[in-house]
Structure 1
Amino acid sequence: MADNKEVEKEILHPDNLAKFQTAAAISEKVLAAVSQLCVAGEKIVSICQKGDKLIEEETAKVYRTTKLKGFSHPTTVSPASYVTPYTPLTSDTAEADIELKAGEPVKIQLGAQIDGYGSIVCNTILVPAKEQAEDVVTGRSADLLLATYYANELLLRLMIPPGLLASGTDEEKAKAAAVKPPTQSKITSLLDKIAKSYECSLVESTTSWLFDRNEIEGKKKIVIAPAEGTKGDGTPEVGEVWGVEMGMSLGSGKVKTLDQRATLHRRTNNTYILKSQTARKTLSTIQNRFGHFPFSLRQLEEEAGDTKYKVGVFDGVRSNVLRQYELVGDKDGAEVARLLTTIAITKNGITKFGAPPALDLSKYQTDKKITDEEVLKILEQPISKNKGKSKNKKKKKPAKKAAKPQEGEEEESEGDEE
């Protein structure tokens, strides 16, 4: 526990909390604005550009003396079968012309950071036709989004250390705290029950990472439905910040690398003196503007105004000073949904440092439902300690017309970091 307290003093110090919360507010605000831009016929590259401009405008308004602030993740809009974030280049004519299609599930991912304390969020929406009112969603689209929503709710609860929110006598609390946290294979097994309930599949190797200052891929990770040779490492503890990700597919959930150029990159912790002056200048620009957070080649393209940055990026990747994120999609071309929430684990449970908006379950109808008692029992649990609100609220089980589970608890998590 001593180690946990030391971590909490560092990453969850009140000064840092304020920066996380400011970044989270910006991320959620821009996510909402970008979601409104996603209508049939709109070009993905144009949406990404507008989202990035909003992040820059909003971060410029706060912490004016802080040098490193802005993006923790560029705006990305991933089409139906894409698994990883997608952000095309304006110079690539074919990809720059890609437009959103009505009814397809697109994944919007973006994030802001203040002084290296970042919030990343991802939400999946169904693209509406232009000027069309939102209708009730049925069929396989409803199955996909409901499966993703409930699996995400379950995963958030599995992130809470055993016994943290236990009530009752001291003996009962001690007994609850003595329970071992679920193994990563157990986590996958529980989530798979939800996937099967809606005839969906977990997306292969969906990964949640431990966050730190200037770092979104820390020493711990949870890998769901791991591919061969892939495994997670570590369990969540009090005093940590995590990026919690959930991915669901209408196909097998298996993935493949797409035959498209990787446009998303990130500075690694490796040091290497690049040989060319152009490469060194490019790396300096990346370091000053993005730090160790992901960025799009489109952002360099727009800033440089020429193609010289490509040499620097190539040298950076070759020297392992930059990491490129390959584009990955569903192996069967099936539709995919993803969610990503940035959370802090405190002594009072989970505090959200940026989350997708709660799904309006009244707009999603299906004849499928979750019946596994173990899963339902976990879904009924709160994500944070009750802060004085009614403790007698009856929890509803997810079903055909279920209400939002734990909506009250999610609201109560605000301020739990104190």
Structure 2
Amino acid sequence: MAEAATETDYSLANPDTLTKYKTAAGIAHKVLESVSGWLTDGAKIVELCEKGDKLLDEEIAKVYKGKKISKGIATPTTISPSSHVTPFTPLHSDAEDAGLTISAGELVKIQLGAQIDGFGAIVCDTVVVPSKDKKAEIEGRNADVLLATHYANELLLRLMVPPGLLASGTEEEKKKATSVRAPTQSQIISYIEKVAKAYGVAVVQHTTSWQFERNEIEGKKKIILSPSDGTKGEGTPEVGEIWGVEVGMSLGSGKIKELDKRSTLLRRTQVNYGLKRPSSRQILSEIVKKFGNFPFSLRQLDDERAGKVGVVESVRNGVLREYKPSAESDGSAVTRLFTTIAITKNGITRLAAPPSIDLEKIKSDKKIEDKEILEILERPLSKSTGTKKNKKKKKKVAKKEDEDSEDDDSDD
């Protein structure tokens, strides 16, 4: 009698899972760097998004060739103007949006992602569109909001490390550290708001971090910063989980308003409904085949104009979810960072993360003075692997000694 097929383990306990996440993240990083380099005064947003998606497709095609696994774009290239909160991806068939350009000195948000076998890695960075003097320092309010976003992101990541995970010392000290309760959602919100206050900015309403699962970027757990309508986050980050961590700051009130624009970014939900119109069923079939449950732009459909009509019934009946265009209510500039992380027994690994900012080039007369916040920011995100120590040792010892050292490390 044939043996029953074993169920595939898609958790982080399976090394292949982390490898797929890292492969997707590597693609996201490469494309983000390219798109950031394309930002110039007067560049059309729709053209930049198209180029980004084309590069995503090209890089995704290079990996896992011949393997029977799904792979594709986890989030299309979106480039959001200064005051936009929702990731923005315009259509050629919407003349007004198709003509939108970016300006030198403007804060724009670039978000994109790739997925391998349903394991998505998404990243977002806020970039100042360069002027002719690309090496110029960033000053004033732009500097304030960029620093606030950077430190709030670093703070939130450290607050997501499970208590005691990185503890050292005696067994008793480790046990005591592990017994500490993880910060509550209210405490997390309070900490992040202190960072915003230090720089005279506001947290963007409904900024949400989600637990990621296979084929799902809005899992069971979530952390909501600056909730305004009674919504609450739920769950605590734990070892073995993947999260998409978001931080958004505003130079205005932080309150958001919906824009009178078409929703061009959508994604499939878990709702099943018998669509009546043949055109609706045809478009949904294309969406499921191409994108699964990951976000997509109407621009990516075979027929953009037909897609605009074909998604209406699905949206009305909850089969597709719209990401409704929104912006800061008073028109002020907003920032966003989005990082895909893995929480392992060794701490937090940044899988897809915005590049580190050059703190020497961002000049602000404001700073964080709260001692508790500063103490949290000093905490490590992961256990030291000794890699740097070994690299220094290799510069000082002879080749034979270096080989012996490597052998010892591998035994450990």
TM-score by length of 2: 0.90
Q: Would the aligned equivalents of 1:245 and 1:338 in 2 still touch at CA under 8 Å?
A: yes
CA distance in 2, matches of 1:38, 1:121: 17
Structure 1 alignment gaps of length 5 or more: 1-6, 392-418
CA distance in 2, matches of 1:266, 1:298: 13
Other-structure match for 2:181: 180
What are the within-5 Å matches in structure 2 for residues 277-316 of structure 1? 277-300=278-301, 303-304=302-303, 307-316=305-314
Q: Would the aligned equivalents of 2:122 and 2:339 in 1 still touch at CA under 8 Å?
A: yes
Residue 12 (structure 1) shift: 4.6
Other-structure match for 2:5: none
Residue 10 (structure 1) shift: 1.9
Q: Would the aligned equivalents of 1:66 and 1:115 in 2 still touch at CA under 8 Å?
A: no
1:120 matched to 2:118? The reply is no
Other-structure match for 1:348: 346
CA distance in 1, matches of 2:305, 2:257: 29
Look up the SS of the partner of 2:190 in the other structure: helix
Give CA-to-partner distance per residue, 1:94-120, whole Å, 9 cap, x none. Answer: 110000011110000000001100100
Look up the SS of the partner of 1:10 in the other structure: coil
CA distance in 2, matches of 1:389, 1:312: 54
Aligned residue among 313, 318, 322 for 1:324:
322
What are the within-5 Å matches in structure 2 for residues 18-37 of structure 1? 18-37=19-38
Give CA-to-partner distance per residue, 1:103-141, whole Å, 9 cap, x none. Answer: 110000000001100100000000113x43231111111
Q: Would the aligned equivalents of 1:8 and 1:238 in 2 still touch at CA under 8 Å?
A: no
Q: Which amino acid aligns with 1:96?
A: A
Q: Would the aligned equivalents of 2:107 and 2:129 in 1 still touch at CA under 8 Å?
A: yes
Other-structure match for 1:203: 204
Give CA-to-partner distance per residue, 1:230-271, whole Å, 9 cap, x none. Answer: 110111000000000000111111111111111100000111
Other-structure match for 1:261: 262
Other-structure match for 1:396: none
Q: Would the aligned equivalents of 2:10 and 2:17 in 1 still touch at CA under 8 Å?
A: no
Residue 86 (structure 1) shift: 0.3
Q: Which amino acid aligns with 1:219?
A: K
Residue 42 (structure 1) shift: 0.1
Q: Would the aligned equivalents of 1:8 and 1:239 in 2 still touch at CA under 8 Å?
A: no
Look up the SS of the partner of 1:288 in the other structure: helix
Residue 17 (structure 1) shift: 1.1
Look up the SS of the partner of 1:90 in the other structure: coil
Other-structure match for 1:104: 106
1:88 matched to 2:86? The reply is no
CA distance in 2, matches of 1:67, 1:283: 21
Look up the SS of the partner of 1:353 in the other structure: strand
Residue 390 (structure 1) shift: 6.5
Aligned length: 382
Q: Which amino acid aligns with 1:72?
A: A
Look up the SS of the partner of 2:305 in the other structure: coil
What are the within-5 Å matches in structure 2 for residues 14-413 of structure 1? 14-64=15-65, 65-129=67-131, 131-300=132-301, 303-304=302-303, 307-389=305-387
Look up the SS of the partner of 1:365 in the other structure: coil
CA distance in 2, matches of 1:44, 1:55: 16
Residue 55 (structure 1) shift: 0.4
Q: Which amino acid aligns with 1:210?
A: Q
CA distance in 1, matches of 2:43, 2:112: 18
CA distance in 1, matches of 2:193, 2:9: 32
TM-aligned CA distance change 1:148 to 1:12, over 3 Å? farther
Look up the SS of the partner of 1:70 in the other structure: strand
Structure 2 alignment gaps of length 5 or more: 1-7, 390-412
Q: Which has the larger radius of gyration?
A: 2
Look up the SS of the partner of 1:371 in the other structure: coil
Look up the SS of the partner of 2:208 in the other structure: strand
Q: Percent identity?
A: 59
CA distance in 2, matches of 1:321, 1:228: 24
CA distance in 1, matches of 2:85, 2:9: 33
CA distance in 2, matches of 1:175, 1:208: 28
Q: Which amino acid aligns with 1:297?
A: L
CA distance in 2, matches of 1:35, 1:66: 32
CA distance in 1, matches of 2:366, 2:224: 27
Q: Would the aligned equivalents of 1:204 and 1:253 in 2 still touch at CA under 8 Å?
A: yes
Residue 142 (structure 1) shift: 0.6
CA distance in 1, matches of 2:309, 2:366: 52
Look up the SS of the partner of 2:121 in the other structure: strand
Q: Which amino acid aligns with 2:321?
A: R
CA distance in 1, matches of 2:387, 2:11: 30
Give CA-to-partner distance per residue, 1:49-85, whole Å, 9 cap, x none. Answer: 0000000000001112245211100000000011110
Q: Which amino acid aligns with 1:253?
A: G
Look up the SS of the partner of 2:37 in the other structure: helix
CA distance in 2, matches of 1:101, 1:390: 41
